[in-house]
Amino acid sequence: MSDVACCRLPVLGITPFNPVNGDTRFFVLRLPRPSEPAWWRWRPGQFVMLRPDSFGLELPWGRPFCICHVTDGCLICFFQVLGRGTRRIAAIKPGDMVSLWGPLGNGFAMEADTPTLLLAGGMGIAPFVGYVNVHPKIWNVTMLFGHREIQEYYPVNNINEFIPLDGFLEHGPEDLQLFVDTVHERMRLCAEQKGLVLACGPLPFLRTVRDFARALKVRTQLSLESVMACGVGACLGCVTKTDQTWPVPEKRGRPVQICRDGPVFWADQVVI
């Protein structure tokens, strides 16, 4: 816990991306100045737990948010309004206070000289904003992005100013199949280059990526999502099962906590 900051932070702003219903948004908090030492070692793929004062006694638990980016003393998250918690957070005004603990979990591998393929499905684009901003040799990174809303509803401009981003808008089954086929082909090429694949998105998407990774024998990391209450491994509320390749022998074939041992896992080490 020495690398985790627990603090109350002011909200700088919430910016809607979707002009129709405003269900995707940037959420910006001001980090302490000078920043907590925990943030000096922040890694793309980590997350935070947030609990605004407006939750009161009605919503006792915080909510997990993937870190989109950390820059200039600010923490940026990208989220979708789905339930009671995110609706409350979407209603926050600049100057309101939020309790935060993080950065939590591990992050994605970053190998400067290795060809790296980013695979994002929908809201899984969030951690890759920070990834492409801090990668030391960005010309080695490419990205595929599958989505059901138009690209303007996602922070694609924060990525394609650094790297090429190939987007696939899903209208029907044929569009989804085209995206899946393209993912397989690009992962095949990445395997030939002895590259690295990083994926974030909904569970069916991650299962497909995992199956391709095992068949093609390409090193692949998956960022898993889960309902979390504490975010630090105390409540045992978020688990996934390990495979027989898990590095700790006594935990092979057993559940591990996504918040503490993840959320990023090597595809050949977990069962999803």
Return d(Cα 29, Cα 11) in angstroms, integer.
Answer: 5
Distance between CA atoms of residues 128 and 118, nearest Å: 8
DSSP single-letter state for residue 49: E
Cα distance between residue 137 and residue 43, in whole Å: 16
Instruction: Give the other-Cβ count within 10 Å of 151's Cβ.
Output: 16
Q: pLDDT value at position 1?
A: 45
Q: How crowded is residue 74: how many other Cβ atoms within 10 Å of its Cβ?
A: 15
Asked if residues 254 and 242 have their Cβ atoms less than 8 Å apart, the reply is yes
Q: Residue ranges per domain, the chain?
A: 5-104, 116-271
* Cα gap 75→228, rounded to integer Å: 20
pLDDT of residue 217: 96
d(CA 126, CA 225): 12
- In angstroms, what CA-CA distances link 263 with 108, 199, 225, 250, 260? 9, 11, 7, 20, 7
- Give the DSSP letter of residue 184: H
- Using the CB atoms, write b or e for 238-270: b if 16+ within 10 Å: bebebbeebeeeeeeeeebbbbbbbbbbbbebb
- Decide: 208 and 216 in contact? Cβ < 8 Å: no
Angstrom distances, CA of residue 22 to CA of 89, 139, 166, 167: 13, 33, 24, 21
What is the average pLDDT value for the chain, to the nearest integer? 89
- Blockwise average pLDDT, block size 10, the chain, 272 residues: 73 80 82 67 91 80 89 87 86 89 92 97 95 96 94 89 92 92 98 98 96 97 85 78 89 89 94 90
Q: What are phi and psi of 204, to 5 degrees?
A: -60, -35
Strands 24-30 and 5-16: antiparallel
State how far the Cα of 96 lies from the Cα of 136, in Å rounded to an integer. 35
The tens digit of pLDDT for each residue in 199-242 reads 999 999 999 999 999 999 999 999 998 877 777 777 777 888 98
Q: Which CATH class is domain 5-104?
A: mainly beta
CATH code: domain 116-271 is 3.40.50.80
> What CA–CA distance (Å, rounded) separates 70 from 129?
10
Strands ordered across the beta sheet of 116-121? 165-169, 141-147, 116-121, 196-200, 219-223, 264-266
- Write out the two tokens for 115: 């060809």
Task: State the DSSP H helix or E strand holding residue 207, giving kind and residue range, or none if neither.
Answer: helix 203-216
